[in-house]
Amino acid sequence: MTLPPHRPPSHPPRRVVVTGLGLLSSLALDRESTWAAMLEGRDGLGPLTRLSLPMEPAQVAGQVAMEPGRHQTLCECMALKTLEEALEGHRFKGDPGRLGVFQGAGTSGLPVAEAYLETRLAGRRGRAAEPAYQSPCVITDALARRLGAEGPRSTIMNACSSSLLALGQAWERLASGELDAAVAGGAESLCRTTYAGFSCLKAVDSRKCRPFSRDRAGLNLGEGSVQVLLETLEGARARGATIYAEVLGYGASMDAHHATAPHPEGEGAARAMAMALRMGGREAADVDLVSAHGTATPANDGSECLAIRQALGAAAKTVSVTSTKSQFGHTLGSAGAFGAAAAILALRDQVVSPTLRLEDPDPACDLDCTPLQAKERQVRAALVNAFAFGGNNVSLLLARWEGA
């Protein structure tokens, strides 16, 4: 495995910490209720009711107990709710030009586009504003308006690694000194076009998904939102903020292998993890948790476990691996942020959430994938993985906050 040349920054990077976390899922509409349910081994998967797709054989999904607002999409409602939870009442008092918003998007405005098309085909005009709500940047703009943020805002559409790349890029802007704070994450809602597309790929399981299992047969789609408040350590300390974890760095790579399938040997994924470790100044032996992409598709899980072994070497034998998709389903553009949320809370509480329904592990997934039950253990550092169609790989490195 060859890494690109490392170019150290011209000045020491500023330390960046997580000071807020909003989490809304098919398990619960707030962070602590969702986390408690995860540790109890519950999932938010059930019969598909939000969408009418009687022709599809797979009818299992993760759906939030929330509806769109009168003038807001479901994604926007979820994103704003998780923003408020992440802020915990804090209002940014510094230069608004040093506050940024970074969002990952996948399905994005497709549900709005579907509804608008039906309206037009039925001969009705529809609302004049509806075409604007189809834009992927609607969520980013809504969050920026609520925050009064005048710094850079970025909407990243990198398929299923989008929100993790958003977190990585936000960290980069803070570490470089360009920003003092940022909100990063993603929000996704179910949509018929995306559901049908995954079904055409035969990637959707008709049962609840089983990451890392011998009989895994595909993913379940899900929806929800995660928003993370990042601040420089200096700024967080100055206002006495609660610190959940520290962000150390990230790695991003490209397989250049196939439009939908991961590299069978996990080369690009391993490279992303190794880059994150190098950027964060940590060794493989420092990592206690991998919050995996873990989609439960036949192709992904084996190649990801191979990539973890490549990146961590002998340390892979002692690391805990977990997949949030066994609890929420695959939330597409927001999936990486969901994985990051699970890692942040694991670092805070020193417990790893379980991979559900992992009763018969695939021999190709011969790591400790935290089957069935949560596991209390030391978690010093965590890698979060998100891999996307086209071979877009991202890995984020987080560390427990020790108050240093």
Q: Which residues are catalytic?
A: 160, 293, 330
Which single residue is written with the structure tokens 């991202």? 394
> What's the DSSP call for residue 315?
G
CB 20 within 8 A of CB 228: yes
Give dist(CA 336, CA 161) in Å, integer.
Answer: 6
DSSP per-residue string spanning 44-106: -EEE--SS--TT-S--EEE--S----SSS-HHHHHHHHHHHHHHTT----S-GGGEEEEEE-S
Six-digit token pair at 36? 């408690």
Q: Is 259 exposed, middle or buried (0-12, 13-18, 19+ CB in 10 A)?
A: exposed
- Mutual angle of helices 335-349 and 31-39, in 10-degree steps: 80
Instruction: Tell me how far the alpha carbon of residue 175 is from its chain's centroid.
Output: 21
Close Cβ partners of 330 (under 8 Å, ≥ 6 residues apart): 160, 209, 219, 220, 221, 222, 295
149: helix, coil or strand? coil
Half-sphere exposure of 370 (CA within 13 A, CB side): 28
**How far is the first Cα of the chain from the last one, in angstroms, to the nearest whole number?**
34
